[in-house]
């Protein structure tokens, strides 16, 4: 289970992507996400999917790592795809017993798969090439204009950082609890879907309890260190924009502009 979680993992390598400004990588990812939801053409989806291995090659990160991020959501994705294929109204393609498969259902499901893959691969790449601390600092810089509206930016970023740190920890804890239950004779593989869901309770309940205990320990530790969210803090490392960072932003802005243009005026 632990190896299936991609968010929060860092892959150490000496690449141009690792050396980019974290703020630039987050802004580029946001532009990419917007483009993914704007795309409505299979040729553009294919082109975007072709770009992904190139990005991973530049980052010197094995793309097989990104496929692990699809495993935890595979079941939910499969249910969503089947629901859309069989129950989305539209032009009939074929009929299986009393269930009709429509052209619109297949079209929506294929696009859903493409979008999910693009989102997971790109989000994982940012996670692999940027440490959690750098991501939190970059997010705080990006959201800093909200301080003018009295938004507690530092508190929000701190909560996001802690949540991301908790993901691999909770995954590891869940795996340990599962192994402990299996050593006591619990069988998680047999039975139907409902029975398997019920068998997850011996994992969920202890995991929920340990999560509350860990959160309480973190709160006490922060309080013992006199943590105060309202204090101004100095920075150990400041982010400086380089020519390569500006070029990356311009490239992604151009890509988003092309996608929007093709959406307005399709090929």
**Per-residue model confidence as pLDDT tens digits over 32-75:** 999 998 888 888 888 888 889 899 999 998 888 777 766 666 76
- Rounded to whole angstroms, the Cα distance separating 51 from 44 reads 11
> What domain count does the chain have?
2
Residue 142 lies in a domain: no
Is 148 a residue whose pLDDT tops 80?
yes
Statement to judge: residues 98 and 49 lie in one domain: yes
Statement to judge: residues 80 and 208 lie in one domain: no
Statement to judge: residues 162 and 53 lie in one domain: no
111 CB burial (10 A radius; 0-12, 13-18, 19+): middle
Statement to judge: residues 223 and 243 lie in one domain: no
- Rounded to whole angstroms, the Cα distance separating 121 from 62 reads 11
> Which of 8-22, 63-77, 126-140, 191-205 bottoms out in mean pLDDT, i.e. has the lowest?
63-77
Among residues 66, 122, 115, the alpha carbon closest in space to that of 252 is found at 122
Domain span at residue 117 reads: 2-134+238-264
Across 98-170, the runs of DSSP E, i.e. the strands, are 99-102
Statement to judge: residues 22 and 104 lie in one domain: yes
Please state the φ and ψ torsions of residue 232, each to the nearest 5 degrees: -80, 140
Mean pLDDT of 214-239: 76
> Which of 71-85, 127-141, 180-194, 251-265 bottoms out in mean pLDDT, i.e. has the lowest?
71-85
Asked if 108 and 88 touch (Cβ cutoff 8 Å), the reply is yes
- Rounded to whole angstroms, the Cα distance separating 72 from 66 reads 12
Q: Give the global pTM.
A: 0.74
Is 93 in a helix, a strand, or coil?
strand
Statement to judge: residues 30 and 90 lie in one domain: yes
């Amino acid at each position: 289970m632990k190896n299936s979680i991609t968010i929060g993992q860092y892959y150490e390598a000496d690449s141009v992507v690792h050396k980019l400004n974290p703020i630039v990588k987050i802004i580029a990812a946001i532009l990419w996400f917007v483009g993914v939801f704007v795309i409505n053409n299979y040729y553009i989806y294919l082109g975007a999917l072709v770009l992904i291995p190139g990005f991973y090659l530049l980052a010197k990160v094995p793309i097989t790592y990104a496929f692990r991020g699809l495993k935890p959501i595979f079941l939910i994705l499969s249910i969503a795809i089947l629901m859309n294929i069989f129950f989305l109204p539209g032009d009939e393609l074929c009929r299986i017993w009393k269930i009709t498969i429509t052209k619109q259902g297949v079209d929506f499901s294929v696009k859903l798969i493409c979008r999910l893959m693009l989102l997971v691969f790109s989000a994982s790449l940012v996670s692999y090439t940027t440490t959690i601390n750098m991501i939190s600092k970059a997010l705080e810089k990006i959201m800093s204009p909200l301080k003018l509206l009295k938004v507690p930016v530092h508190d929000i970023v701190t909560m996001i950082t802690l949540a991301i740190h908790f993901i691999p920890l909770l995954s590891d804890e869940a795996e340990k609890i599962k192994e402990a239950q299996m050593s006591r004779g619990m069988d998680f593989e047999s039975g139907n879907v409902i029975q398997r869901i019920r068998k997850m309770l011996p994992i969920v309940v202890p995991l929920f309890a340990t999560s509350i205990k860990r959160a309480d320990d973190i709160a006490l530790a922060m309080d013992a260190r006199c943590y105060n969210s309202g204090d101004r803090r100095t920075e150990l490392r400041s982010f400086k924009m380089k020519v390569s960072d500006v070029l990356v932003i311009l490239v992604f802005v151009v890509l988003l502009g092309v996608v929007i243009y093709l959406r307005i005026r399709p090929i």
